Amino acid sequence: MKRPNAPFIEPATADNVTRAVAWLRAGSLIGLPTETVYGLAADAGNADAVAKIFAAKGRPADHPLIVHVASAEAAKAWAASWPAAADKLAAAFWPGPMTLIVKRASHVLDAVTGGQDTVGLRVPSHPVAQAVLREFAGDGAVPAGVAAPSANQFGQVSPTTAQHVAEEFPDQLLLVLDGGASEVGIESTIIDVSGAAPRVLRPGRVRAGDIERVLGVPLGEATDDAPRVSGALASHYAPRTQTLMLAEPRLRMQLRAFRNAKAAQPMRCVITHSFDAEPMERLRTIRLAADAETWEFELYALLRELDQERYGTLIVETPPETPEWDAVNDRLRRATHGSSPDDL
Ligand code: TXA
Ligand code: MG
């Protein structure tokens, strides 16, 4: 009898890294741990392998993929030109949670770039990702690269553990290397250096202020002519549970209203950072430290866990508006898109 396809999780031993590289060379998909989130990885030079990523994710073909390589030197082989800004940013933040958008080299597949004249490049710092990329690179003039979007179904939150990846692709034959929980927890900062002024297309752990310090000039505004980023869709990071944000005063009022309600209440969950919500029936309360890095690390895993518990509503206390919180606010705006307090 034919066994159904399914993912399987393997510890990231040296043998399993070699095995994962063999899978990539054979045109198969693997689940790749990185410090930001897990990727669904394929040989970026193999159009059939790249097509499997789009099919598995249900992702529209015109959404470009990031190519991952082991070093800035390797990244340059995937670019047609390497501006001074790219040099400075690579020196400051690679290996690490940053993706650079540059003009693509002519060998880069259309399937990877979505037909655009640019390509996204990243050098991850996770030791398992580094080991896979170094071994996969080979000794050609162009080091082989790995195309990897976040390993989630299109429109779902990104996975931060090997188990999450397996849950997202239950029917996919997939070798998932277990590299532990991703230490950043949200996707890389994307910086477009292909135009006149560098600009941030997606905020992440590498902060705008740090980028400006390294570049020595202010960042440009991301405008409508920015290259297509699927993470830029208003509701891209969508949990299934209705999720909304309320600022602290409004949230306290709402909690009082729940407490005083006469009718039976649905199960709800609230996540705060500035105060402890008083316990009450049919309300789960979670308080995360008022620190952007903690929220980045916890957010997706928490959304995923809470989604499985089928709460009527998840209410998140609006985070501070300071630049440090840009990435958290960006992801929460998408997760709460279309929900309003009137729905409560
Ligand atoms: O942290 C990350 O970046 C993770 C890990 C696995 O590296 N990857 C990731 O990939 O988040 P993905 O595909 O889920 O998100 C990458 C975003 C997409 O929104 C895509 O549209 C954008 O990067 N992107 C890729 N190439 C681009 C390009 N040439 N121009 C503009 N945006 C691009
Ligand atoms: Mg993604």
pLDDT for residue 318: 98
Ligand 1 in reach of 179 Cβ (< 6 A): no
- Largest Cα separation within the chain, whole Å, is 71
Phi, psi of 342 (to 5 degrees): -65, -20
- 7-215 is classed CATH 3.40.50.150: no
| 210 Cα–ligand 2 center, Å | 24
Atom of ligand 1 nearest to the CA of 99: 3
Q: CB–CB of 67/108 below 8 Å?
A: yes
d(CA 245, CA 249): 12
- Residue type for position 264: A
High-pLDDT (> 90) share of the chain, %: 86
Ligand 1 in reach of 116 Cβ (< 6 A): yes
Q: Residue 223: which pLDDT band, with cuts at 50, 70 and 90?
A: low
Q: Residue 338: which pLDDT band, with cuts at 50, 70 and 90?
A: confident
pLDDT for residue 63: 93
Residue 124 has pLDDT above 60, yes or no: yes
Instruction: Report the pLDDT averaged over residues 146-154.
Output: 97
Strands (E), the chain: 7-11, 30-32, 39-43, 66-68, 98-103, 118-122, 146-147, 174-178, 189-192, 199-202, 242-246, 268-272, 283-287, 313-317
Ligand 1 in reach of 204 Cβ (< 6 A): no
| DSSP class of 196 | S
Residue 234 has pLDDT above 70, yes or no: no
Residue whose CA lies nearest to ligand 1 atom number 30? 227
The pick from 99, 200, 299 for probing ligand 1's pocket by mutation, whose C-beta has the most ligand atoms within 8 angstroms, reads 99
| DSSP class of 247 | -
Residue 235 has pLDDT above 70, yes or no: no
pLDDT for residue 339: 83
d(CA 60, CA 145): 21
Residue 225 has pLDDT above 80, yes or no: no
| 289 Cα–ligand 1 center, Å | 29
Residue whose CA lies nearest to ligand 1 atom number 12? 149
d(CA 223, CA 214): 22
Ligand 1 in reach of 182 Cβ (< 6 A): no
Ligand 1 in reach of 37 Cβ (< 6 A): yes
Q: Residue 236: which pLDDT band, with cuts at 50, 70 and 90?
A: low
| 158 Cα–ligand 2 center, Å | 6
* CATH no. for 243-343: 3.40.50
Q: Where do the domains of the chain lie?
A: 7-215, 243-343
Residue 17 has pLDDT above 60, yes or no: yes
- pTM, two decimal places: 0.95
Strands (E), 237-298: 242-246, 268-272, 283-287
Tell me which residue has tokens 């985070």: 319
Residue 224 has pLDDT above 80, yes or no: no
| 253 Cα–ligand 2 center, Å | 35
pLDDT for residue 310: 84
Ligand 1 in reach of 246 Cβ (< 6 A): no
Query: What is the chain's mean pLDDT, rounded?
Result: 94
Residue 1 has pLDDT above 60, yes or no: no
Which DSSP helix (H) or strand (E) runs through 72?
helix 72-76
Beta strand pairing status for 268-272 and 283-287?
parallel
pLDDT digits 0-9 by tens, 68-121: 999 999 999 999 999 999 999 999 999 999 999 999 999 999 999 999 999 999
| 231 Cα–ligand 2 center, Å | 6
What is the full DSSP assignment across 7-23? EEEEE--HHHHHHHHHH
Ligand 1 in reach of 164 Cβ (< 6 A): no
| DSSP class of 77 | T
Residue whose CA lies nearest to ligand 1 atom number 17? 229
Ligand 1 in reach of 65 Cβ (< 6 A): yes
pLDDT digits 0-9 by tens, 31-53: 999 999 999 999 999 999 999 99
Which ranges constitute the DSSP H helices of 194-291? 208-215, 248-260
Q: CB–CB of 29/54 below 8 Å?
A: no
Residue 248 has pLDDT above 90, yes or no: yes
pLDDT for residue 160: 98
pLDDT for residue 319: 98
pLDDT digits 0-9 by tens, 294-329: 999 999 999 999 988 989 999 999 999 999 999 999
Atom of ligand 1 nearest to the CA of 230: 19
| 58 Cα–ligand 2 center, Å | 12
Residue 139 has pLDDT above 60, yes or no: yes
